[in-house]
C-alpha cells in the first residue's frame, strides 16, 4: 500500500486533474482534486526532462484503488482531504471518481457545511453525481461529519447567514486562479479568461473552460 509520495513534480495535466511525481527515479501518475492541484508548485523539469535547479519537492497523501484491471493512485494535499475522500467512497454508489469530483467542487470543510445544511442540490452539481447519490451522501455522512466538524470549530450551522453556495464559489475562484498561475499564466490573463466561465460549475470545469479561453 502506498500511503504518501514525496518527490519532484514531473508533469501536470490540469484538464485531466492528474500529475506525475518522480520519486527515486520512478514516475507515479496520480489523480488529484482541483483544490490539491491549485496548491502544487510548478513542475520541476523542463519539457525535455532536464531537472530545474529551483525544483521543489512535494508530498501527497495517497489512496490506492485496486481493481481487477487497474491500480489507480489518488493524491491529496492534506490528510483532511484524504479522510473526507475515504468517507465519501464509503457511501454506497460513490466510487473514487465521484469522490474526487465532489472534492473538486468544494473543500472538505465546505462539503461538511453543505452536508450539515442538507444541500443535496449543491453536491449533485459535481460531474457524475446525481440527486440520489447526493441524498445518500447527506444521509450517511451528516451524523459522522457533525462529530468531526462541530459548529464550535468554525463550521456554520445551516441557519448561518453565509450560504454554502457563496463560500464554495469564492473558494473555487481562488483555487482556479492558483492552478492557472502554476501553469504560468499572469493574473491579468486569468482574470480575462474567467469572464467567460460559469462560476456555478465545478472547479474542474472552471479550470477547463478558463484554459480553453487562454489557449485561443
Range 4-76 classified under CATH 2.60.40.10: no
Q: What is the pLDDT of residues 171-213, one digit of tens each?
A: 677 777 777 775 667 778 888 888 878 877 777 778 778 877 7
Lowest mean pLDDT among 5-9, 66-70, 86-90, 99-103: 66-70
Residue 87 clears pLDDT 70, i.e. is over it: yes
Domain 79-153 has CATH 3.40.50.2300: no
Distances (CA, A) of 150 to 146, 166, 203: 5, 20, 26
Total residues belonging to the chain:
216
Average pLDDT of the residues in 45-69: 87
**Cβ neighbours of residue 171 under 8 Å, at least 6 residues apart?**
106, 107, 110
Cβ neighbours of 137 (radius 10 Å): 28
Q: Cα–Cα distance between 96 and 88 in angstroms, integer?
A: 8
Residues 52-63 pLDDT 10s: 888 889 999 999
Give yes or no for a contact between 82 and 63, defined as CB atoms under 8 angstroms apart.
yes
DSSP-derived secondary structure letter, 117:
T
Give residue limits of the domains in the chain. Answer: 4-76, 79-153, 164-214
Amino acid at each position: 500500500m502506498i500511503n504518501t509520495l514525496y518527490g519532484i513534480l514531473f508533469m501536470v495535466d490540469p484538464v485531466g486533474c492528474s500529475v506525475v511525481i518522480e520519486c527515486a527515479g520512478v514516475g507515479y501518475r496520480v489523480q488529484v482534486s482541483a483544490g490539491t492541484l491549485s496548491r502544487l508548485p510548478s513542475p520541476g523539469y523542463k519539457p525535455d526532462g532536464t531537472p530545474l535547479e529551483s525544483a521543489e519537492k512535494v508530498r501527497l497523501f495517497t489512496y490506492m484503488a485496486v481493481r481487477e484491471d487497474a491500480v489507480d493512485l489518488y493524491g491529496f494535499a492534506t490528510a483532511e482531504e484524504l479522510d473526507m475522500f475515504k468517507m465519501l467512497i464509503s457511501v454506497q454508489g460513490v466510487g473514487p471518481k465521484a469522490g474526487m469530483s465532489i472534492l473538486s467542487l468544494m473543500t472538505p470543510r465546505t462539503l461538511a457545511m453543505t452536508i450539515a445544511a442538507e444541500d443535496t442540490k449543491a453536491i449533485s452539481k459535481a460531474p457524475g453525481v446525481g440527486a440520489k447519490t447526493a441524498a445518500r451522501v447527506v444521509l450517511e455522512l451528516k451524523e459522522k461529519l457533525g462529530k468531526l466538524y462541530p459548529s464550535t470549530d468554525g463550521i456554520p450551522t445551516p441557519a448561518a447567514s453565509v450560504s454554502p453556495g457563496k463560500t464554495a464559489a469564492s473558494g473555487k475562484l481562488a483555487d482556479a486562479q492558483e492552478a492557472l498561475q502554476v501553469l504560468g499564466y499572469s493574473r491579468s490573463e486569468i482574470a480575462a479568461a474567467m469572464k467567460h466561465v460559469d462560476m456555478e460549475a465545478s472547479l474542474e470545469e472552471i479550470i477547463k473552460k478558463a484554459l480553453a479561453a487562454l489557449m485561443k
